[in-house]
Structures are given as structure tokens and as C-alpha cells.
Structure 1
Amino acid sequence: MDKKAGEVNMIETIHLDIKGMYCSACSGRIEKSVLKMDGIFDVNINMATEKGRIVYDSIHTNKLLILERIKKLGYSPSIINPKALIAEEKKDEEIYSLTWKVIFSILFAIPLVLTMAVQSGWMNIDLPSLFFSPWFQLLLATPIQFIIAFPFYEGAWNSIKNRGATMDVLVVISTTSAYFYSHFLTVRSLHMDLEKTPIHLHFETSVLIITFVLIGKLMEAKTKRKTLDAIYSLNKLKVNTVTIIENGFQFNKSIKDISPGDIVLSRPGERIPIDGLIIYGNTMMNEAMLTGESIPIEKNAGEMVYAGTVNVNSVIQIKATTNHQETVLSKIIGIVEEAQLSKPPIQNIADRFTSIFVPIVLLLGFLTFIIWYYFIAPSDLSSALEKMIAVLIISCPCALGLATPMSIMVGSGQAARLGILFKEGKMIELLSKNDVVVLDKTGTITKGKPQVTDMLVRNIDETLFLQMVGAVERGANHPIGNCINEAIEKKVSLIPLAQMIKIIPGYGVEGEVKDKKIIIANVRYFERLAILTNLTPVLKEAKVLEQQGKTVMIVAINEQIHGIIAVRDAIKRSSEKAVLRLKSMGLEVAMLSGDNQSATKNIASKVGVDLYVAEMSPQNKAEWIKASQKQGKRIMMVGDGINDAPALSIADVGVALGTGTDIAVESGDVTIMNGDLNRLVDAIVISKKTMVNIKQNISWAFIYNLVCIPLAAMGVLPPWFAGAAMAFSSISVVLNSLRLKKI
């Protein structure tokens, strides 16, 4: 949207629950109409979940105007909190209502169907003479046509009023034509001898079409309920009532009333209600909902615990660090919901087709009527009407509209069960298209928890050296710095406060301690600083350690070399197997590391990575990816989300490996919560199978229409069969999507 120079944008996002959508044409109409408004940047409407997300400029429009626009289209929007619990009861109410509508429709349809079967010679049974009365059939059909099917009329009127065409229009035109033509014949029968001149009514056609459409909607609602199981199961991990401790007494409190700083009591077997810090006690914690690993891990005082995990065996007290809407569990639910709402690029194919499909079908139906009435069966209104109705009903584009969102919902839900989070639905498609997988070393292939193996101190008191190094490393949030700091804390108890701490990207860290400038960096950094004295012998020692596959950090204090610290990081057990699996899928695997050549080569050879580049800064990694992309390659970058942020952002897909809690890494498009590279392979498998599933659904929807529309136009498919086939096509798409639950 064009903006005047200097104009300020106030970007806001609203999430909506939208009732009254029946097919992809509905969601498409809402998107097109809202996008025409001033100040609208993005609109995503998901017909399957009946939810929408709209990004807008609050200076040029507002929530009320957006809601009013959608209401004018004939739908019922309401603003929802994206962090709030999903209202399962709403979906249950829809299923309950549809169930009763289907029951009444079937009961009223049975006499009409039996009558049609006897009159057509399909069955030879004795029926009450009342069944053959046109007035009795009119009495049965009327409540179905105008009470049970009233939502179709309402939707069709709103669609036509706003110059659109949806499935409702097709259902209303076809069933109303059959009903009123039969009504006309019923009134005319008052002046006819039905025994001599029997008439063929079509009440069963309208009733059966409505019944089959309702049955299809009921089955869709039930199966869609299953596709949301991942979200529902995550929501069930939330705790509603919490036991807190105040002034030595215990109280029960709603989770909504818990604030950071509250002391929460957790007993054995209970789920942790809130993210917080253990301040009393220790226990074993089952964090399977975060990491996918069911083996409990030990948690002691001073360590974090997270909402939804299970306290296995001891009473602990937790100091809340968040409110209930900001927990890791809430963030996971939010990410999964966002992924299910957003559309992958392949959805554009279906959207473009369905936007023009209904008008084309209306034209085809009209042409079918003209051809039959004037050419094939001249003046046979009943026959021409049947063929037109069959064409209109068989063509409802429900299956096409469900093809993509259903697969995305199930695929992303299954991924969430394994601890894999797709930030957007489109990432499922993009992840399946990569040629090269680029892996970071530290924290990705290795455990990211290196151990100090060598510490050489020169010309300085060792305690003073350790204090200065420990003070600076405390401010460096990096695996190597953390391990150095842990090793130092075991040797000295008093560590001063460092100032002016500054990360040297790709090299190390620097800071000031007691007015002394401390630099802790790798060999490459110091090779550039010729001004430093006593450097040559230190570099020789460092090279020897590097040849042993160790990572070496040199320590300079006021431009004088005073020590060497060497660390070695263990390889994750899963890394070698994961690299082998990636190669077996035909993917090229590369490793980019900021570490020295020897250490990088050592790790690469052990896990089976043939292409590796050492001594790379974060910016170098990003430039390497850019160069590969210019060669036409699609790059997936996998890193820890901290130092690798530039590379993760520039890659076609950035995959951030977390620890089960680092799920909000902004630079990653996909997050693997337990940091296991095998989960990366699982994510690729899920994405590929989901895309295959989407293509199957879209292909089935296209083939179904290509085959059935001509058959309906030729009179091979009667209207009631067309209604059943249309319902079956939608159900088959949903059932095919549910096969992804077996991944």
C-alpha cells in the first residue's frame, strides 16, 4: 500500500474468530475485501480453523472498521486473545448442533427417498399411500428447506449482496430450484388425476442435497476437531488452580492471578503451573512436553522449571518469573497456532482457482440447463433442471479449500509433539525444498558444554589471573565462556565485577577489571596484533593444542600475554547418525565454524561432514550462505540462535536448536526444542510428507471436479448422488490429511 513521504505507521495485529464460513471462497472473499481497506498490510483467514490474523496501520483504520467490513460480508467476527485457551466448547457446540440437524434431515428424508425408490422401480415394497401424496412430501421438505437450511440462504444472500459467489449460492440455487419446481407441480396436481397422469416431484432431491451437505459438514467438524488435537493436548497441560505460600500459609489461587515473585508450592505428581526458579527443595522433573525426552532429569534449588512439566518425586517451592500468558508453554501454543493459521505458497494455487470457480460453475449449470432444455430433451423442464442441479452441487469447492489448511494443521501439530516448532505454515513448504544443510559446530554438532583441558598462566599471580578472566567471561553469553567461568568458580570464590564488556564477534570478548583491559580471544585475533610482546612463543604453544583438536583462547592483560586456556567440546551422540540421515536424503551437508582449522577438521571427520570451513565470523557465515544462494542453491542454516543470528536470518530457512526453553529465538524460522539434530531430520521428513499430502489433496479435488462435472452435465449422476459425492470429496480430503498423524 502506498504511503506518503514521512508518514508514520502504527502497526498492530488482531486475531479473530470468524463464524459463518463454509468454503475457501468465503475465506477468499474476506481476505480480498479487507485488503481493499486503507491501512491493511496483511490478511490471513483460515477456513479450517475459522480464525484470522490481520495486520493493519492503526492510524488509517481500526478494529471496529475491520469488524464492520467482515460483518457486512455476512460473517460473524470476534476479537480473540491469541494467548488465550482455545475454546473447545465452541467446536463441541457446532458438532452438537450439526448432529441434530442431520438427524432431523435424515428422518424427514427417509419417506421421500423410499417413495422415489418405489416410483423409479429400484425397490418393490408396499408403502403407505400417504407417502405418494405431493402435499405430504411438501410438508416434509419445507422445514428442511427453510429451517434446517436457513444458514445457507443467509450466507447466499450476504454473498450476492456483496457481489460474491460462495458454496451457499450453489446450494441455495440448486435446492430452491428443485423445491419450487416441485411446489409448482404440487399446486398444479389439484386439477390432475394423479393415477392417470403421475407427476415426478423433486422434493427428495432438495432434501437429500441438504442432508448430504450437512452430513459432510458434521464429519468435517469432527475430523477437524481431531486435527486440533495437538493444540488441545498442549492446552490441557496448563494448570488452572495454584497453591501459593504467603506469610507461612498456603492458599489456592487462580493461575490468572499469579504474578512474578509469587511463591508457588508444587507437590510430587503435579504439573508445574508457572515458569519459575526453585528456591527450596530438589526433585526429578519430567520435561517430555518440552524436549520429547521422557527420562526425568534432576532439578535443584537455583534452577528453572517450566509450566506443563511434571514434578516427579519431591515437594519444591518455586518463585514465579512470568505470568501465565508468558510461559514457555504459552509461547509454544502461540507458535503452533500461528503456523496453522498462516498459508504456504502452494495455497495460492487453490486460492486463485476458487476465486473464479463458483462463477464458472454457475455459468456451466446455466449452459447445461439450456442445452438439455432446448436441444437434448426439448421442453423437458424436469430433466433439464435435474442436470443443472447436479452440476451445481457436484462442483462445490469445499475439498479444494480444505486441501492445504488441513494438511498444515495436522503436520505442524505432529511436529509440535516431537518438539519441532514451525514459526509459520509456509516454513513447512520451504523446509522441504532445500539443497544444502549448513551446520554450526558448537552447540549444534557438539554439546555446547565444553570442558577446560589446559590452563597455562604466565608472569602473573594465578589467583589474580583467574579472577580477571572469570569476571570478563561472566558477561559473555557463549558456551566456551560459560565453561571457562565454571572452571574458574571451582578454584576461586571471590570474582570482581567487570566493566565495559564487549563481544568481539567470531573471536572472543574483552572488558575492564580493576582498570586493567582484559582480552580473551582466539589465536586468529592475536595473530593480527603484532604490537603485543611475547606473542610468538605463545602462538606456538597454542598451535600445538589446536592440533589436538582443542579450542584455544589466549588471555592478554594490558597488551601483555599472560595465559592460554584450552577447551574441548564433546560431540552429541545423535550428530553422526543425523548427518548420515541427511546425506541419505540427498542433501549436501556443510559445517561452518568460528573455531580453528584443527578443531573443526577433527569434529567434521568424526561426524562425517565432508565440506567444512573453519575460522569464520558470524558475518563470514552469512556471506558464505549468500554466495551459495547466488549459485542457485537453497540453504537451510542450523545453529544455536545466538552467534548464528545473521546466518539464520539470511538462509532460506533458519533452524534454531534450543534446549527446550529457547523457543522464542527470533532469528529462527523453525525451532528444535531439545537440540537433537535427529529432530531436524524428522522436521524435514514431516515437511516433505506434508507437502506430498497437500499435493494429493489438491490433485484429488481437481480430478474430482474434472471427472464429475461432465458426468453430471451428461445426466450420468443424479442430483442426490452429486450431493453425496460432494460431501465425500471434502471428507476424503480431511481423512487423507489425518494420515499425517501416523508420522
Structure 2
Amino acid sequence: MSCAACVGRIEKKLNRLEGVSATVNLATGRAQVEHPAALPVEKLIATVEGAGFTARLSEPPAPQSAQKSGPPPGTAATGTGGRETERQAWNRLLVTLALAVPVLVLSMVPAWQFRNWQWLCFTLAAPVAAWSAWPFHLRALRGLRHGEATMDTLVSLGVAASFSWSCFALFWGGAGVPGMTMPFSLLPSAGGTAHVYLEAAVAVPLFVLTGRMLEGRARRSTGSALTSLAQLAAKDALVSADGEERRVPVAQLRVGDRFLVRPGERVATDGTVVEGNSALDLSLVTGESRPVESGPGSRVVGGALNSGGMLVVRAGAVGADTQLARITRLVEDAQTGKTAAQRLADAVAAVFVPAVLTVAVTVLGFWLGAGAAAQSAVTAAVAVLVVACPCALGLATPTALLAATGRGAQLGVLVSGPRALESLRRIDTVVLDKTGTLTTGRMSVLDVTVDDGGNGDRDGGDADGGGDPARSLRLAAAVERSSAHPVAAAITAHAAATSARPLARATEFRELPGRGAEADVEGHRVRVGRTDGGEGLPAALPARLRDAVRTAEEEGRTAVLVTVDGVPDSVVRLGDALRSDAYRAVDRLRRLGLDPVLATGDAEAAARAVAGQLGIDEVHAGVSPEEKAALVRRLREEGGRVAVVGDGVNDAAALAEADLGIAMSGGADAAIGAADITLTREDIQCLPDAVHLARRALGTVRANLLWAFGYNLVTVPLAAVGLLNPMFAAAAMSASSLLVVGNSLRLRTWRPAPPGRTRPPSSRPSAHRLPALRETV
């Protein structure tokens, strides 16, 4: 498919089948079809092929490495019915540029026209009109065979008409005589020597090929979300059977098979732990920041990272039934839909091309019937085709995207495509993930509470009484430095960063699976572990430490008890700390008129604690990926325009489901691929900057499209009445493209507004948020 008219042709053919409802997406190259069970898929494929295209049943996304040799999305069809590779498309464009520039210069600068210059231009223009424009000719012929016209038809006719008339003028119209010069004039000549319009024959392919190349580059990352989800899953599993271990592809796993998960490996598929104890990092799958202790009987999710010991897992779901596969399907379904702007473009394309063809034929017949010279009639008709060539329409969106992406990259904001630009203008709700978005996404030590009889300081300060937080933390870090547990890593890193003394060496280290670890440090037996009264840990704690544990539980934090020689010494509270600029970012979003909503897979207590600090009223905690996507759908059904900000695989479906998806670059590739905007800085304040940039880019695209359509509305009538010759029409067409590009390049110097200049929030809430506001009151 090359344009919106192709989309309309396929949809029309499919929807004519009884009981079929089809939606075709130009950017992804996918059709989502609902059809009766009695109608075979082969019939659907045959219908698409009958419309002049190729089709096949969608397959699961292949790994990135397997796709590198394939064609990039958005490339043009070749004469053999295949698709050009990126290198072939670039070669075609470069050759066209080298041949077209001399023709344009000589045709439009009379002072440089030397003897027999027209024959040099003819020699250079012939391969451009034939070889460079061959993809357009081929698709125009295919459309003609099926009774359809697309923008390729307009391009092909403009090139063919310009080149054919130039051949007539050179060989039979007297334009080929030595010493002929062609002045640049506004009005076409009514008689005398026929003019050549080779500049139009080369300018049209040059600008259209450039626009298609830029558009293809802008759409190239469309399928990256599905590819990233496929890469997250394990490719093979270590199966244990009959006392033997062997590696098998994940596709060969069956329900009930037992497989091993070594430290540092990902769980191959959903299942239940049979043997072993470990801590699983589920942050990329469920959004849970805290490591999950897993032992016999625990359920595990495919894609989770094993951070601790060896596990033996019995497969409970395989293939399409796993949680990761369900998320993949949600992302795919959400991406197959269309935006309102895409539907508008489809409708415009269906009318624009036939209308221009009708005008060109009408102009030719009118001038011939009015007794005008054949040259004047042909000149007016060719001028209509050339001046209406949709170069500016093709460049309007991709050039703005290219400029916005380049400037955004400098500011830490990556804009992926037109979906963000089309949607953001009416966004009024922002659904924020907690882990990795409002928080750092990493376990860290929040404070240390010591049993000092009433006094205790935070973060390693000295105590007034007997307890010493700094000493207790150093002893705990000396034990934990021998463990690979995420909690141990956080304690060790914090002690190393805050203590001026090096950590002591631990001896007689012993790990307590699922409960902690202990070792001898500086002549003391130090144990670091859970506070739930498990084996080897005191069930009763001093009041101060008991209050610290209760506070940690209420906030959804992790509490670790440090005992020295069997005596409770301190409680280390760990958690996912808020980003330092989270409050200012949320406040700026409110000033932009956006309503923040917190949705996270974390526990209710942790979510409420974060929301309370940031002033967010609506909180949805403990939600699964499906529930998060359902929340977004509900908000949209209530009339809201929803943006989702997240960083994990659990956010990918919601990001794709939303009107606007915004991902943090430190998160999962699947979330980044499903999002429309990616924030690359470790500064959440670039989120409001992203909103500003996307709105500015959207305004640029709208201005470009307004100019492109307005240009046609003015110049086509002028060409029809004979006030433009094809040479001036080509110049006007080129100028329109350059104006579009120049307007887009202004984005390269765009600067975000200071925080104080953001628009204050509206005093009147949007209608769909009123129920939530009443509940708050």
C-alpha cells in the first residue's frame, strides 16, 4: 500500500463480503477482519489479491535479528511485485537527484541554456521518467486494471504527460533545433515553437520519492512493540526429565513439563515452582518494584528474571495462553485501529485524485472545443496534473516528524509518529504508572531505625542513645555484599555511598533461602532478614522497631531486620523512592489542564503513599495489565482523551490502547515500542516538555496540511484557465514542498516554555471527571 486510497480500496473489497467488517491500517500494513466462521481465511486473502495487493495471515513477530534482512516498512512496490529494500530505495532516490538537478537548473535559468541544452536535458530526464518513476507507473497500472485511482495515478500521469509532450516538442514541434532557448514565463505560449516540460517530468518523481522515503523512515518503528515483546520471552528452556537436562525451544514445552531456571535467566513460561527458593524480578512484567520471594508452590510468570537461586518450575501455560502472549495480543489489537486523522485522509484521498483527473480531462476538452491551439489545451491539462501533484501532501507529516524527533532527542523526548500529534490536542487525562515513572524503579534504602531507647536517626546519622544507625547499616552491608538478592544489593550500595569507612569482611556466610542471610562480622554474628517472625528471627520486637515495621507495611515498603548476636539492632526500610522532580512534573501537568490518575501493579498502601505525596486523588492499585488497559478503555468511553505514562511490559497494552502513550526509556522495550512518545532523560519534568513539543509539532503538521490543500485550491483553478504553464506549475509545486519543509525545520530551534509560563488549569472540570470529583468531596 502506498497511500490512503489503497487502504480504501482494500476495505471496500473486504467489506463487500457478507458478514465481514474490516479495518486496514496503512502504517502497520495490517488488516483486522471480523468474519463468519464459515468464511475461510483463504477467501479473504484472495479478495485482497483481487484488489491488486498481496496478503498473508499475520504471524507472531520474529526477533529483531531475523528481520534485519527483510524490507523496511513503507517501501515501494517493485516491478516484480516484491518490495524494495531500504538500500534500493535510497539508490533510486540518489540517482534521481543526480539526474534531476541539472535538468531543473537549465530549464528554470534561461541565462544558463547553452547550445543543444534541451537534448542534454532529454537524455537526463528519460531514465528519471521511466526508471525512477517506475514504481508509480506500476501501481497506477494496477489501479487502472481494478478501476481505481490513487495518488500514484496522479504522479504517473503527470510524469508521462510532461515527458510525452516534451518528446513531441523536441522531435516534431521545433523545440529540438540548435540554439533554442526557453524563457521562464508566467503565461503559456499560444503559438510558435512548442516548449519542453522536462523539468516537470524530473521534479515530480524527485519530490515524491523524497516524501515517501521520509514517510517510510517515520513509520519504521511501528512494529517495534511486538518485536520487543517477542524478545522479552525466553527462547529456550532447560528441561529436566529422567535425570537428564537438555535445552529445548520454548515452543516445544508442554503443560506439565519441568524446566530449570538458573540465576540470571528468565522464566521460560507461566508455571508453578516445584523446588528451590529465589527472588524474582517482576518489574518488567507486572510493574512490581519489590522482588517477589518464590518457593515451592509459588506461581511464576514467563519473562520474570531470576535474581537468586536455582528454581525447578512445572509449566502451567504455554504458547498463546501465557500472560506475555496475552499482553502481545492486546498491543497488536490496539495498534491495528485507526485514528480520526487517518480516516479523514482516507476520505480526502478517495475524492482528491479522481477530482483532479476529471478537472484535467475537462480542461483539455474545453480548450479544444473552444478552438484553442492544441499546444495551449495540452499545456493547460498538463499544468493541472503537475500543479496538483501531491508532493506537499506527502511531505507535510514526515518532515515535521523528522524535525520534531531531532529536536526532541536533544531535549530527551522521542516522538514516534503522527498518532501522538493527532491525539494530544484534546488530551485531558494522564494515567501515570508508579514504578519507574514517578519513582526511580530501583530498590533503595529509605531510612534506618535503631533500638536506642527512644532516639534514632535516618540515613545513617549518629544516634543520641546507644544505637548507631551507621554501624548497624555497615554490619548489614558486610553480610549482604555476599548475596545477589536485590534487597542485598540496595543495602550494600547505600552503605558504600554513605559510609567513609570500607565495609568489613564477612566470614562463615550462610544464606537463608527466602528469609535472609547471616555471617560473622567484626566478631559479631550478624543476621539480616525478614521481620515476619520466621525461623531464626525473633518473633517479638522492641516497640520502636515494631513501629518501624508497621510503618513500612502501611506504606507498602520492605522492612529488613538486622540482629547482632541474636539481639534486634535495627530495621532498615527499603522502597522505590520518588523521583526528585515528580511533584513539580505532576503540578505542571495540572497547569496544562491535564487530570492525573495513578494506576500501578503495586500494593494499595504503596500506591496511596505516593499519590498522597504528589496530590493525586484518583488511585488504582494492584491492577493487572489487562485491568490497566480496561481502565484506559473505560476512561475513553466516558468521554476522556487519555494519555498513559509507563515503563514496564505491563504498561504496553495500556500505552497502545490510549489516545497517547508515553514511555520512560529506562523501562521495557515493549513499552517504548507501544508508546507514541519516549522520555530518554532521567528527569520526569521532560514529560510536560513532551506535551509542549508534541502540541507544537501537531500545530506544524496542521499548518503544513492547510498550506498543501490551500495551495491546490488556488493553483488548480489558475492552471485550468490557462494562467500557469507546466514549467511554472512545477516551480510552484517545488516551492510548496520547500515551504512545507521550511516550516517543519522551525521545530529544530523550538525551546520548551519555563514552568511558570504554563497555562493555568481550567476552573471547570471536564464532564467525564465529575463523578470522581464528587467522590473526593
Alignment of 1:194-273 (within 5 A): 194-195=178-179, 200-273=195-268
CA apart distance, 1:342: 0.8
Q: Which runs of 5+ in 2 are unaligned?
A: 73-83, 181-191, 414-418, 439-529, 536-553, 556-574, 599-604, 668-682, 753-777
Alignment of 1:103-502 (within 5 A): 103-109=94-100, 112-113=103-104, 115-116=106-107, 120-121=109-110, 123=112, 132-133=118-119, 140-188=124-172, 193-195=177-179, 200-282=195-277, 287=282, 289-290=284-285, 297=291, 299-302=293-296, 303-312=298-307, 315-365=310-360, 379-380=375-376, 383-384=379-380, 387-394=383-390, 397-398=393-394, 429=423, 433-434=427-428
SS of residue matched to 1:339: helix
Over residues 253-288 of structure 1, what are the superposed CA-to-partner deviations in whole Å (9 max), with x where a residue is unaligned? 223223333344444554544344454555565555
- Aligned residue in 2 for 1:48: 27
Q: Equivalents in 2 of 1:375, 1:174: separation in Å?
A: 24
Point out the more displaced range, 179-188 or 695-704: 695-704
Assess, with a 3 A threshold, how the Cα gap between structure 1 residues 321 and 726 changes in structure 2: closer, same or farther.
Answer: farther
| Letter aligned with residue 55 of structure 2 | P
Tell whether the 8 Å contact from 2:392 to 2:736 is kept in structure 1 after alignment.
yes
CA apart distance, 1:391: 1.8
| Letter aligned with residue 53 of structure 1 | Q
Equivalent pairs counted in the alignment come to 564
- Aligned residue in 2 for 1:31: 11
CA apart distance, 1:157: 3.0
Q: Equivalents in 2 of 1:273, 1:490: separation in Å?
A: 31
Q: Equivalents in 1 of 2:695, 2:56: separation in Å?
A: 32
SS of residue matched to 1:194: coil
CA apart distance, 1:187: 3.1
Q: Equivalents in 2 of 1:735, 1:291: separation in Å?
A: 40
CA apart distance, 1:171: 0.6
Q: Which runs of 5+ in 1 are unaligned?
A: 1-20, 419-424, 445-485, 492-548, 551-569, 592-598, 612-635
Q: Equivalents in 2 of 1:733, 1:305: separation in Å?
A: 53
Point out the more displaced range, 361-370 or 233-242: 361-370
Q: Equivalents in 2 of 1:103, 1:430: separation in Å?
A: 36
CA apart distance, 1:577: 8.4
Tell whether the 8 Å contact from 2:237 to 2:247 is kept in structure 1 after alignment.
yes
Tell whether the 8 Å contact from 1:368 to 1:387 is kept in structure 2 after alignment.
no
Tell whether the 8 Å contact from 1:283 to 1:313 is kept in structure 2 after alignment.
yes
Assess, with a 3 A threshold, how the Cα gap between structure 1 residues 88 and 273 changes in structure 2: closer, same or farther.
Answer: farther
CA apart distance, 1:178: 0.8
SS of residue matched to 2:149: coil
Tell whether the 8 Å contact from 1:48 to 1:402 is kept in structure 2 after alignment.
no
Paired residue for 2:43, among 52, 65, 70?
65
Q: Equivalents in 2 of 1:573, 1:122: separation in Å?
A: 68
- Aligned residue in 2 for 1:534: none
- Aligned residue in 2 for 1:538: none
Q: Equivalents in 1 of 2:747, 2:29: separation in Å?
A: 17
Over residues 485-523 of structure 1, what are the superposed CA-to-partner deviations in whole Å (9 max), with x where a residue is unaligned? x999989xxxxxxxxxxxxxxxxxxxxxxxxxxxxxxxx
Paired residue for 1:74, among 29, 32, 52?
52
Q: Equivalents in 2 of 1:736, 1:44: separation in Å?
A: 35
| Letter aligned with residue 65 of structure 1 | K
Q: Equivalents in 2 of 1:84, 1:655: separation in Å?
A: 29
Q: Equivalents in 1 of 2:335, 2:168: separation in Å?
A: 48
SS of residue matched to 1:219: helix
Assess, with a 3 A threshold, how the Cα gap between structure 1 residues 148 and 76 changes in structure 2: closer, same or farther.
Answer: farther
Tell whether the 8 Å contact from 2:61 to 2:226 is kept in structure 1 after alignment.
no
CA apart distance, 1:170: 0.6
Point out the more displaced range, 339-348 or 193-202: 193-202
Tell whether the 8 Å contact from 1:179 to 1:203 is kept in structure 2 after alignment.
yes
- Aligned residue in 2 for 1:625: none
Tell whether the 8 Å contact from 2:363 to 2:377 is kept in structure 1 after alignment.
no
| Letter aligned with residue 393 of structure 1 | C
Tell whether the 8 Å contact from 1:324 to 1:330 is kept in structure 2 after alignment.
yes
Tell whether the 8 Å contact from 2:279 to 2:293 is kept in structure 1 after alignment.
yes
Paired residue for 1:710, among 708, 714, 717?
714
Point out the more displaced range, 310-319 or 349-358: 310-319
Assess, with a 3 A threshold, how the Cα gap between structure 1 residues 661 and 108 changes in structure 2: closer, same or farther.
Answer: closer
Tell whether the 8 Å contact from 1:284 to 1:313 is kept in structure 2 after alignment.
yes
Assess, with a 3 A threshold, how the Cα gap between structure 1 residues 725 and 571 changes in structure 2: closer, same or farther.
Answer: same
Q: Equivalents in 2 of 1:64, 1:733: separation in Å?
A: 47
Q: Equivalents in 1 of 2:748, 2:265: separation in Å?
A: 32
Q: Equivalents in 2 of 1:427, 1:306: separation in Å?
A: 36
Q: Equivalents in 1 of 2:647, 2:533: separation in Å?
A: 24
Assess, with a 3 A threshold, how the Cα gap between structure 1 residues 325 and 361 changes in structure 2: closer, same or farther.
Answer: same
Point out the more displaced range, 648-657 or 194-203: 648-657
Q: Equivalents in 2 of 1:431, 1:326: separation in Å?
A: 38
Task: State the percentage of identical aligned residues.
Answer: 20
Q: Equivalents in 2 of 1:273, 1:256: separation in Å?
A: 10
Q: Equivalents in 1 of 2:225, 2:748: separation in Å?
A: 12
Point out the more displaced range, 83-92 or 425-434: 425-434
| Letter aligned with residue 175 of structure 1 | V
- Aligned residue in 2 for 1:701: 705
Tell whether the 8 Å contact from 2:429 to 2:597 is kept in structure 1 after alignment.
no
Tell whether the 8 Å contact from 1:82 to 1:334 is kept in structure 2 after alignment.
no
Assess, with a 3 A threshold, how the Cα gap between structure 1 residues 669 and 397 changes in structure 2: closer, same or farther.
Answer: closer
Point out the more displaced range, 391-400 or 730-739: 730-739
Tell whether the 8 Å contact from 1:166 to 1:358 is kept in structure 2 after alignment.
yes
CA apart distance, 1:173: 1.2
Q: Are residues 1:91 and 2:86 paired?
A: no
- Aligned residue in 1 for 2:545: none
Point out the more displaced range, 168-177 or 704-713: 704-713
Tell whether the 8 Å contact from 1:402 to 1:734 is kept in structure 2 after alignment.
no
Q: Equivalents in 2 of 1:223, 1:657: separation in Å?
A: 22
Q: Equivalents in 2 of 1:228, 1:270: separation in Å?
A: 26
Assess, with a 3 A threshold, how the Cα gap between structure 1 residues 324 and 152 changes in structure 2: closer, same or farther.
Answer: same
Q: Equivalents in 2 of 1:385, 1:47: separation in Å?
A: 31
Over residues 582-636 of structure 1, what are the superposed CA-to-partner deviations in whole Å (9 max), with x where a residue is unaligned? 7555467899xxxxxxx9xx9999568798xxxxxxxxxxxxxxxxxxxxxxxx9
| Letter aligned with residue 42 of structure 2 | L
Tell whether the 8 Å contact from 2:258 to 2:315 is kept in structure 1 after alignment.
yes
TM-score of the superposed pair, with normalisation by structure 1: 0.57
Q: Equivalents in 2 of 1:665, 1:384: separation in Å?
A: 53
CA apart distance, 1:297: 3.1
Tell whether the 8 Å contact from 1:283 to 1:311 is kept in structure 2 after alignment.
yes
Q: Equivalents in 2 of 1:55, 1:699: separation in Å?
A: 37
CA apart distance, 1:176: 0.8
Assess, with a 3 A threshold, how the Cα gap between structure 1 residues 71 and 259 changes in structure 2: closer, same or farther.
Answer: same
Assess, with a 3 A threshold, how the Cα gap between structure 1 residues 263 and 687 changes in structure 2: closer, same or farther.
Answer: farther
| Letter aligned with residue 27 of structure 1 | V
Q: Equivalents in 2 of 1:241, 1:727: separation in Å?
A: 51
SS of residue matched to 1:45: strand
| Letter aligned with residue 102 of structure 1 | L
Tell whether the 8 Å contact from 1:269 to 1:312 is kept in structure 2 after alignment.
yes
